[in-house]
């Protein structure tokens, strides 16, 4: 299986997630302050940020959207837009794409494009600024690792399906495997949620795999400040490679 996966990673990203106490709305002044905080996070981060206000009723995590921003990533001779920051009524999320179009992005400041550990501290600083602006507190943190692999040839379908999903069915166009593991680390309980999805648009076309692993503190805290969140993100970095080797043995 590892030989089939070799060299198949086409996109990598990490998402920093922070659950917060309810924030029902934002003032115009708070939106402006948020935009300033994002632009000062890093010269690499702020130059292509676009502020987009939204009244969409629900965000990905279930809360109403209050503020979101996008940035652009160079892919060959064009640019691809990606969601980078989302503030909902109950959460904060920051997404960094670290590898796309066969190249590392500007967020990779070391040789590690999976963990990008130097951003843990930067995100701690950003979360302090965001919480100060919106007047909320945190109670759960998580780091989500996102991998896209492909393209795989149609004739590789059987071995991929059998190795990852335990079945062989040439008519399958989409299948998903979701697992949750509870792990005690240093006396604290962590939740490791994994999703592996097989996607094929047509039975005779190449296909791809999408994998997401979310590592977070299982028990909601009454108050989890950004420094505590960084400890969760550091812990996630310490366990993700071993976990990936068990569910998706891919070289990154």
Residue 66 has pLDDT above 50, yes or no: yes
The answer to whether residue 49 sits within a structural domain is: yes
> What angle is formed at CA 194 by the lines to CA 185 and CA 239, rounded to 5 degrees?
30
Phi and psi at residue 159, to the nearest 5°: -70, -35
Q: What does the pLDDT read at residue 51?
A: 54
Q: Decide: 232 and 216 in contact? Cβ < 8 Å.
A: yes
The answer to whether residue 165 sits within a structural domain is: yes
Share of the chain above pLDDT 90, in %: 59
The answer to whether residue 44 sits within a structural domain is: yes
Q: What does the pLDDT read at residue 76?
A: 63
The answer to whether residue 252 sits within a structural domain is: no
CB neighbour burial string for 108-139, b if at least 16 within 10 angstroms, e if fewer: beeeebbbbeebbebbbebbebbbebbebebb
Q: How far apart are CA 138 and CA 90, in angstroms?
A: 9
Domains in the chain: how many in total? 1
The answer to whether residue 58 sits within a structural domain is: yes
The answer to whether residue 53 sits within a structural domain is: yes
Over range 152-172, report the average pLDDT. 91
Q: What domain range is 172 assigned to?
A: 2-247
The answer to whether residue 219 sits within a structural domain is: yes
pLDDT per position as a tens digit, 77-101? 666 667 788 899 999 999 999 999 8
The tokens for 4 are 């089939």
pLDDT per position as a tens digit, 102-152? 889 888 888 789 999 999 999 999 999 999 999 999 999 999 999 999 999
Pairing of strands 9-20, 50-52: unpaired
The answer to whether residue 176 sits within a structural domain is: yes
Q: What does the pLDDT read at residue 56?
A: 46
Q: What does the pLDDT read at residue 53?
A: 56
Q: What is the dihedral of CA 167, 170, 176, 180, to 10 degrees?
A: 10
Q: What is the dihedral of CA 194, 70, 91, 26, to 10 degrees?
A: -170
Of 24-28, 136-140, 147-151, 212-216, the one with minimum mean pLDDT is 24-28
Residue 182 has pLDDT above 90, yes or no: yes
């Amino acid at each position: 299986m590892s030989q089939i996966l070799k060299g198949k990673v086409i996109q990598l990203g990490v998402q920093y997630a922070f659950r917060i106490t309810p924030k029902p709305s934002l003032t115009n002044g708070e939106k402006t302050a948020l935009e300033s905080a994002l632009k000062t996070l890093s010269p690499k981060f702020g130059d292509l940020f676009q502020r987009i206000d939204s009244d969409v009723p629900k965000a990905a995590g279930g809360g109403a959207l209050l503020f979101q921003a996008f940035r652009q990533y160079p892919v060959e001779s064009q640019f691809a837009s990606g969601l980078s920051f989302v503030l909902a009524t109950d959460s904060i999320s920051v997404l960094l794409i670290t590898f796309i179009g066969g190249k590392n992005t500007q967020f990779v400041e070391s040789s590690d494009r999976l963990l990008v550990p130097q951003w843990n501290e930067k995100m701690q600083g950003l979360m302090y600024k965001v919480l100060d602006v919106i007047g909320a507190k945190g109670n759960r943190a998580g780091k989500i690792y996102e991998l896209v692999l492909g393209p795989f040839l149609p004739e590789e379908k059987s071995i991929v399906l059998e190795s990852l999903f335990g079945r062989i069915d040439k008519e399958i166009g989409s299948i998903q495997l979701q697992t949750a593991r509870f792990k005690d680390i240093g006396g604290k309980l962590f939740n490791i949620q994994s999703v592996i999805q097989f996607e094929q648009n047509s039975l005779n076309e190449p296909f791809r795999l999408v994998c997401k692993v979310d590592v977070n503190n299982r028990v909601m805290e009454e108050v989890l400040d950004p420094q505590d969140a960084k400890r969760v993100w550091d812990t996630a970095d310490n366990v993700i490679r071993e976990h990936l080797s068990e569910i998706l043995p891919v070289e990154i």
